[in-house]
Structure 1
Amino acid sequence: MSMILTAAQVVTPARILAPGWLHLDGDRIVEVGEGTPPRAPDLDLGDMTVSPGFVDLHVHGGGGAAFDTGTAESGAAVVAAHLSHGTTSIAASLVTDTPERMAAAVRELALLVDDGVLAGVHLEGPWLSPHRSGAHQPGALTEPDPGAVEALLGAGDPSTGSGRRGAVRMVTLAPELPGGTDAVRLLTDVGVVAAVGHTDATYDQARVAIDAGARVGTHLFNAMRPLHHREPGAVGALLESPAHVELIADGVHLHPAVLRTVFAAKPGRCILVTDAMAAAGAPDGDYLLGPMEVEVRGGVARLASEDGDGPIAGSTLTMDAAVRYAVRTAGLPLVDVLHAASTAPAAAWGLADVGALAPGRRADLVVLDDGLEVVRVMRGGTWVGP
């Protein structure tokens, strides 16, 4: 069904149209314009802002459920929890576990990728630095042997068994590990995004990985060798490269000044992610992140410990809250923040069908009020929440 929507603001990749309008036909965007639409609108959203649907490339769970269980039911629960907060394209991120359990989860989640429920699977481990393991089980970390890499990729592509991307769209690894650079090349050759993360890499080691094809930095600064003026490490290498960088804008992982600095240093290449675990959109309590026990207190997730001060274990963030924090607390321009929440992540993964309000794209929209709270969500031309 064809319809025209109008709103005080319509956010395109380049600028905000004020006022703006969208012409939708079925599940597609047909036209986007500024000022008066070609005919009377079917729906006038008044003072609202219409943003592209959010794209979150790094999510472990939400709504009390987690992707690590690898079941369709839990996966659907996570998707529904984040959809109500404006995320219309979502990746299933898996933390380090045994190869058998990770492969089993990939196989099950691949079914949701095939059905269009998930944008893809992100493997965060097991090829991570033991010195920067964060909330990953240290004893399960391994070096990226080519056979092991191909086996996990193959679990997401049962038709071939190996050698193709399949459901796995991104792999986070520490490139300084033995075989790390070769793994980056292997991933790049089959169309998988190689991401640098949970790494103790020096600047030179990170540069080698970027030159080999790595093009995303996983939750920049967190679980990385700190930036130092005499040894910039992976942070320095990523900041000066063309790579996209993930940022967790929750007030726990990064200081707002760091957000401002990175947005200024990498215009158009910043990606907001939630790194959300099961407690996102759910109460405080005790949860699991893969095999690791997590305590959530005051909305902050940490590995369970006697003193309650264990390592940060993901977040309880939703993307709409990340947008509000980046705009209100960090003071970043709305158009740049919404670009980082939609257009940039879609570009990083080559998702040509989503991430922008542009002709031909899927009709994925988030309607925000003047407080940047989610009022309505559309996915594929259908209103779905909240």
Structure 2
Amino acid sequence: MILKNCTFINEEFEKEFGDIKIENGKIAEIGIIDGEGKDMNGKIIMPGFIDIHIHGGDGGDSSDGTPEALDKISAYLAKRGVTSFCPTTMTLPIDRLCNIAGVISDYAKNGKAGRSKIAGINFEGPFIAMSKKGAQNGDYVIPGTVDDFNRLYDASKGLMKLITIAPEAFDSKKFIEHASKKATVSIGHTAANAEESAEAIKSGVNHATHLFNAMTPMTHREAGVVGVAFDSGITCELICDGAHICPTVLRNTFKILGEDRACVISDSMRGAGLGNGEFELGGQMTYVKDGYTVARLSDGTIAASITNVFDEFKNLLNFGIDFKTAIKSCTINPARAIGEDKKIGSISVGKCADLIVTDENFNIEEVYINGTLA
């Protein structure tokens, strides 16, 4: 298949004009290509978006541990331009997490054509701080051990890409040193101070889970997790729905992180895309009501988002973030954060033909995943 007369975002994340040839699910050639093809005049073609932290959508949740739930999520995401994702588990018993990981890894091997692809598994807990658990179920919070990490990693059949820990909540140095050789270790749901945060990064932590949310803030006398993350060079997740982080803070954050360190995530739950209702999340009930831009617990605590990365991308443009920074934060940056940037994250020869076709106002018209129309 040849897409003709394309205005596309190249691997330098600049606009370019040309044709894109797709063979066997990959981008085979870019340039002026002889032969008939599908006319893309007047369209913009962007690389498929990547969500490395998502619990669910359209009624399915990663922690359901069923192929049916993953089907719902992958179909929901595909229509919204998210071509790869990391199903993200909640804080649950280790045995249950192992079972869920097995289901996800099996599903990933047999993904359906035209559906969003599983790029890895993200374990959000259970090795977190009780004081910063947020919507996580405190009944299942435990100290991290190398043995428990190995159980989760083995159960994922090597598909674990991310794991969140609170480094101050247990003696974490050996855990981090071991885990960081196999997956991206992220600091999050943590009450760590600046010294503890810096020590964790020195040991191998290189990512921050939903920056600002469920962690110690930066103040003028104590840098906290946020200040150390800014200062360290690690990648940082950002929920850009306008509710989890206000637009003013987002603008300042992108100025600090630049175009290579931010990873836009949805952190969405099963209610995403369904409107008002009551939705289970990690064994707790959450609510979406009129006027809500997020899902909340009964006490009003923000539980999870109900957005998606493509809508967040458009939010960022409206908030004043420049196009190149916004799109890199939705594509190549998350791909690099999980070590998948050789396969996905940009429009480049040899990479997967994961493409979003929009009009000039960034309204999605078509989505291709491995060259197949979603």
Bin for the TM-score computed over the shorter chain: over 0.9
Return the match for 1:272 from 242, 245, 264: 264
Contact 1:13 1:339 in 2 (8 A): no
Structural mapping, 1:225-236, within 5 Å: 225-236=216-227
1:1-386 correspondence to structure 2 within 5 Å: 2-7=1-6, 9-33=7-31, 37-39=32-34, 42-115=37-110, 117-157=117-157, 166-189=158-181, 191-267=182-258, 268-297=260-289, 298-305=291-298, 309-328=299-318, 330-351=319-340, 352-384=342-374
* 1:202-255 C-alpha deviation (Å, 9 max, x unpaired): 111111111111111110001111111111111111112221110111011111
The farther-off stretch of 38-47 and 283-292 is 38-47
Question: Which sections of structure 2, spanning at least 5 residues, go unmatched?
Answer: 112-116
- The letter for the 2-side match of 1:233 is G
1:182 CA displacement: 2.1
Q: How far did 1:299 drift? A: 4.6
Given that 2:47 and 2:355 are in contact with CA atoms closer than 8 Å, whether structure 1 keeps it comes out as: yes
Equivalent-residue separation in structure 1 for 2:10 and 2:171 (angstroms): 41
Q: Secondary structure at the match of 1:105?
A: helix
Contact 1:61 1:67 in 2 (8 A): yes
Distance 1:214 1:5, change over 3 A: farther
CA apart distance, 1:15: 3.2
> In 2, are the aligned partners of 1:199 and 1:223 still within 8 Å (CA)?
yes
The CA distance in 1 between the partners of 2:163 and 2:332, in whole Å, is: 20
Task: Tell me if the contact between 2:278 and 2:286 (Cα under 8 Å) persists in the aligned partners.
Answer: yes
User: How far apart, in 2, do the equivalents of 1:26 and 1:150 lie?
Assistant: 35
The aligned residue for residue 162 of structure 1 is: none
Deviation at 1:41, TM superposition (A): 5.8
CA distance in 1, matches of 2:21, 2:214: 44
Q: Secondary structure at the match of 2:151?
A: helix
Contact kept, 8 Å, 2:53 with 2:122, in 1: the verdict is yes
Q: CA deviation at 1:145?
A: 2.0
- Cα deviation for residue 349 of structure 1 reads 0.8
Residue equivalent to 2:114? none
Offset, 1:383? 1.0
Counterpart amino acid of residue 6 in structure 1:
N
8 A contact 1:13–1:343 mirrored in 2: no
**What SS does the corresponding residue of 1:32 show, helix, strand or coil?**
strand
**What is the identity, as a one-letter code, of the residue corresponding to 1:24?**
I
Report the Cα distance in structure 2 between the residues aligned to 1:353 and 1:370, rounded to whole angstroms: 27
For 2:120 and 2:83, locate their aligned partners in 1 and report how far apart those are by CA, in whole Å.
13
How many residue pairs get aligned? The number is 366
Partners of 1:368 and 1:220 lie apart in 2 by 30
Task: Tell me, yes or no, if the aligned pair for 1:320 and 1:374 is still in contact at 8 Å.
Answer: no
Unaligned runs of 5+ in 1: 158-165
The one-letter code sitting in structure 2 at the alignment partner of 1:19 is: F
Contact kept in structure 1, 2:217 and 2:227, CA below 8 Å: no
Distance 1:41 1:326, change over 3 A: farther
**SS at structure 2 position matched to 1:283:** coil
Distance 1:303 1:99, change over 3 A: farther
- 8 Å Cα contact 1:103/1:155 also seen in 2: yes
User: Are the equivalent residues in 2 in contact too, given 1:66–1:277 (CA < 8 A)?
Assistant: yes
Is the 8 Å Cα contact of residues 186 and 208 (structure 2) preserved in structure 1? yes
Distance 1:20 1:314 in 2: 40
TM-score of the superposed pair, with normalisation by structure 1: 0.91
Matched-pair contact (CA < 8 Å) for 2:135–2:297: no
The CA distance in 2 between the partners of 1:172 and 1:188, in whole Å, is 11
SS at match of 1:47: coil
Q: Secondary structure at the match of 1:176?
A: helix
Q: 1:230 to 1:20 in 2, by over 3 A?
A: farther
Residue 373 of structure 1, CA deviation = 1.8
SS of residue paired to 1:314:
strand
Q: Which amino acid aligns with 2:338?
A: W
Q: In the alignment, residue 78 of structure 1 is paired with which amino acid?
A: I
Distance, in Å, in 2 between the alignment partners of 1:223 and 1:237 is 15
Looking at structure 2, the residues matched to 215 and 6 of structure 1 have their Cα atoms a distance apart, in angstroms, of 40
Q: How far does residue 265 in structure 1 lie from its aligned partner after superposition?
A: 1.3
| 1:38 to 1:145, Cα distance in 2 relative to 1, 3 A | closer
Structure 1's 264 and 32: CA in aligned 2 closer, same or farther, altered over 3 A?
farther
